[in-house]
Chain A
């Protein structure tokens, strides 16, 4: 016997409402493929292009606590803003991010990254300078590569000094798609 879908959803809804979840997640459809989106009560914890849940569960459980459940309600706001972004109706995200496990340097870099506006780009070296360490371009590259909240923290807007796209953890195709959506690429 399987649990009927409506009963299952009712429990997941109640769990999200209860405030007892350490993290809730769900899949969000997007033009660049399904996204796994997870959030705690503090804010957004993860956006991933890899929709395979198992490995994310372990990570979320380790970082946020073991009360992790698929709970669409927990990411309602992120889903709405992502939908608006992909529809071209939103240029800036109004979402709080939960960066509880990152180092102070990473946090500074991500903070500067979040300030690169829609439709603009910066180079790795520029971002390193803005984060207070002009020599750290390579470390900034690493930080972009490991960015666990892509799109909202727009690492796709960071490119090489010669204008090349360099790379993207979600695959270059997706970087191209996002920069095209923002009008940077034609």
Chain B
């Protein structure tokens, strides 16, 4: 039987990941804007925290939220610019494989596919990370998979 990983009190989660999140944000949006992005990242995490169903992949989850916040910061400052690529810090094999495979997908579908199948996150968690709804997350993941199937066909 698989045992689920218990979800720690938020304080423990925050203390464990806050410096890595700040480091990521400083690289992505610069020192000046990192502080606000840091606060926004952990407030988004706090909002979704009591709906998490297990404590696996918490690091990947919060880094994804941070990446999403960084994208929002860029959008706010350069509304017309292209959405930046999300190079992920994690080196999990599942992500590595999926990363290459999903290179050609639109950004949102790619993120949904990787989070769903690479990190095994629920659609609720993905919705939080992408700042959208669980339905939209499900739709993005499934149209991403459809697109991949089409491309895989000889």
Contact = CB atoms under 8 A, between A and B. Distances in A.
A7 B49 contact: no
A67 B50 contact: yes
B43 A1 contact: no
A65 interface: yes
B: contact size bracket: 20 to 34
B137 interface: no
Contact of A11 (B12, B42, B47, B50): B42
Contacts, number: 61
Given A11-B42, A15-B42, A57 B9 contact: yes
A151 B11 CA distance: 26
Interface stretch (B18-26, B107-115, B144-152): B18-26
Given A1-B23, A7-B35, A22-B50, A66 B7 contact: yes
Contacts of B22: 1, 3, 7
A103 interface: no
B10 A67 contact: yes
A61 B9 contact: yes
A182 B27 CA distance: 57
A14 B49 CA distance: 16
Interface string A161-174: 00000000000000
A6 B122 CA distance: 34
B78 to A, nearest CB: 25
Nearest to B7: A66
27 contacts: A1-B19, A2-B19, A3-B18, A3-B22, A8-B18, A10-B39, A11-B14, A11-B42, A11-B43, A15-B43, A18-B43, A18-B47, A20-B46, A21-B10, A22-B50, A57-B9, A57-B12, A58-B9, A61-B9, A65-B50, A66-B10, A66-B49, A66-B50, A67-B49, A67-B50, A68-B9, A69-B14
Interface of B: 7-12, 14, 18-19, 22-23, 35, 38-39, 42-43, 46-47, 49-50
